[in-house]
Structure 1
Amino acid sequence: MKTNILGLPVQESELIVTELNTLLSNYQVYYQNLRGIHWNIRGKRFFDLHVKFEELYNDSQLKVDMIAERVLTLGGTPLHTFEDYIKNNKLAVGKNISNDEKAIHLIVSSLSDLLRMEREILDKASAINDEGTNSMMSDFIVEQEKTLWMMQAWLEE
């Protein structure tokens, strides 16, 4: 079996790179959705949500960079065009959302979809002992599960 510089099987690593690039594309859409709801949110909860959405988009921007760097570490090339992002997107696109509940529902839906992708990557990375990708996906999952719980709690008002 041919391995890369990291000691991981080349063919399986290439498949993980493809899935990481899909995740990267979806994170870029998620990021842009968060920017849009940050800019357009209205209502009595504006101040709290405006700050929260900024916190979330800053976090997603960091994750985009981490995913791209992992793609490079595995020997791939990170996707970096809007055309690629749209082609690989599986998330709902939020357009002109100014209502607080619609914004939170978009976040919940997006995070649920991202979690599914991350778990698939985690499974494939585990199968080849790709601890670097495993660790990143595990960290993302733990954080996003907590965010999902908080968003669900917010929706139960």
Structure 2
Amino acid sequence: MSKTILGLDKKETANLVTELNGLLSNFQIYYQSLRGLHWNIKGKNFFELHVKFEEFYTDSQVKIDEIAERILTLQGKPLHTFSDYLENSSVAVGKDISNDVEGVELVVNSLSELLKNERLILDLSDKAGDEGTNSMMSDFIAEQEKTIWMLNSWLGK
């Protein structure tokens, strides 16, 4: 069994890098959708949601960097073009959304999709003995689950 410089199995690490690049792609699409929501939101909840969407995209920007740096730590190469992101993402693109409920529902659905990616990566990183990726995914999951609960409460669900 061939090992990386971190002592992880090379084949398992390559699989993790592939999945992390998928997560990176999804976060980039989610980030850009959040920017659009922040810019285009209208209505009585404008002030509240304008600030909240900015909070979300700022947080996403940090996570994007963390994911890319984790890929590099695993000796992989992070994707970095929009064509790669579109090709490797599964989150919906939010375009021209100005309605508050529609915007919040997009965020909830995007986070739910990110959670699927993160749980898969968590499973793979656990099997690979990759505690660094495991810890990062656990932190992302816990935070996003709480955000989904809070946004669903805002939606009255």
TM-score using structure 1 length: 0.99
Q: What residue number does 2:72 align with? A: 72
Offset of 1:13 from its aligned partner? Answer: 0.1
Q: How does 1:81-100 map to 2 (within 5 A)?
A: 81-100=81-100
Q: What residue number does 2:49 align with? A: 49
TM-score using structure 2 length: 0.99
| Structure 1 Cα separation of the partners of residues 25 and 128 of structure 2 | 24
| Structure 2 Cα separation of the partners of residues 11 and 44 of structure 1 | 52
Residue identity opposite 1:95 in structure 2: K
Secondary structure in structure 1 of the residue aligned to 2:101: helix
Secondary structure in structure 1 of the residue aligned to 2:123: helix
Cα RMSD over matched residues? 0.7
Secondary structure in structure 2 of the residue aligned to 1:92: coil
Deviation string 1:31-74 (CA, Å, 9 cap, x unpaired) is: 00000000000001100100000000000000000000000000
Q: What residue number does 2:60 align with? A: 60
| Structure 1 Cα separation of the partners of residues 10 and 31 of structure 2 | 31
Offset of 1:3 from its aligned partner? Answer: 0.5
Q: What residue number does 2:116 align with? A: 116
Secondary structure in structure 2 of the residue aligned to 1:111: helix
4+ residue runs over 3 A deviation = none
Alignment gaps of 5+ in structure 2:
none
* 1:23 and 2:23 correspond: yes
Residue identity opposite 1:133 in structure 2: T
Deviation string 1:69-125 (CA, Å, 9 cap, x unpaired) is: 000000000000001000011011111000000000000000000000000000000
Alignment gaps of 5+ in structure 1:
none
Sequence identity percentage? 64
* 1:154 and 2:157 correspond: no
Q: What residue number does 1:139 align with? A: 139
Offset of 1:128 from its aligned partner? Answer: 1.2
